[in-house]
Amino acid sequence: MFLIVGLGNPGEKYARTRHNVGFAVLHAWSDALGVRFSSRRFQAQHAQAVFQGKKVFLVCPETYMNLSGNAVRACRDYYDIDQEHILVIHDDLDLPFGRIKVGRKIGSGGHKGVDSIVRNLGTTGFARVKIGIGRPRYGEPVEDFVLSPFYKDQEGMLDQVIQGAVQACQLFVLDGVESAMNRINCQNFGNEEV
């Protein structure tokens, strides 16, 4: 079984914000798979599906970002999932909008949700799909920037970025992290200069 985790904050006020792009990716994939999320356990919205013969467990923690690791650990322990089968999807300030980077055994880059997962799992050995949100254009404090919607001129490309991240998840499940890295990391899914 594969554990695929999208990071974000619960609640309607955060739904279209940069920090919730991990949730957006999993909701897009769950729609394509025809499965619905429920929230009966694990402090998370979750759904089970089969993707081309592989079992996947989709998880959106409902604990707020800095406690995401609690839900991830609970799922990992319950299903006894190897760290090589865990993928975490989240926003990344240091990547320009439109870029997606797949990796494994990399630091958190100061992302509080990833920090929480590393603390709870005791490893950085899980794979990640980092979705570029870029840096604030207008001097906004970073805390406000990540909790705000994407800029108007980015909204038209956002679905393309989300579909690129879904593709990264699919490649990870079917062919492994190296295949996902080789296919995704060289692409630009937005229209911004890099």
pLDDT for position 106: 85
Please say if the pLDDT value at position 185 is more than 90.
yes
Asked, for residue 189, whether it belongs to a domain, the answer is no
pLDDT tens-digit readout, 41-97: 899 999 999 999 999 999 999 998 999 999 999 999 999 999 999 999 999 999 999
Please say if the pLDDT value at position 8 is more than 50.
yes
Asked, for residue 193, whether it belongs to a domain, the answer is no
Please say if the pLDDT value at position 174 is more than 80.
yes
| Strand pairing class (2-6; 127-132) | unpaired
pLDDT tens-digit readout, 90-138: 999 999 999 999 999 888 888 999 999 999 999 999 999 999 999 999 9
Asked, for residue 151, whether it belongs to a domain, the answer is yes
Asked, for residue 171, whether it belongs to a domain, the answer is yes
Asked, for residue 147, whether it belongs to a domain, the answer is yes
Asked, for residue 163, whether it belongs to a domain, the answer is yes
Asked, for residue 190, whether it belongs to a domain, the answer is no
Catalytic residue among 19, 85, 90, 111: 19
Would you place residue 189 in the very low, low, confident or very high pLDDT band (cuts 50, 70, 90)?
confident
Q: Left (φ > 0), alpha (ψ -120 to 50) or beta: where does 42 sit?
A: left
Q: What is the CATH number of the domain that holds 17?
A: 3.40.50.1470
How many separate domains does the chain show?
A: 1
Active site residue 27: no
What are the residues whose beta carbons fall under 8 Å from the beta carbon of 58, sequence distance 6 or more?
Answer: 4, 6, 26, 29, 30, 35, 37, 46, 47, 48, 49
Reported pTM? 0.95
Asked, for residue 137, whether it belongs to a domain, the answer is yes
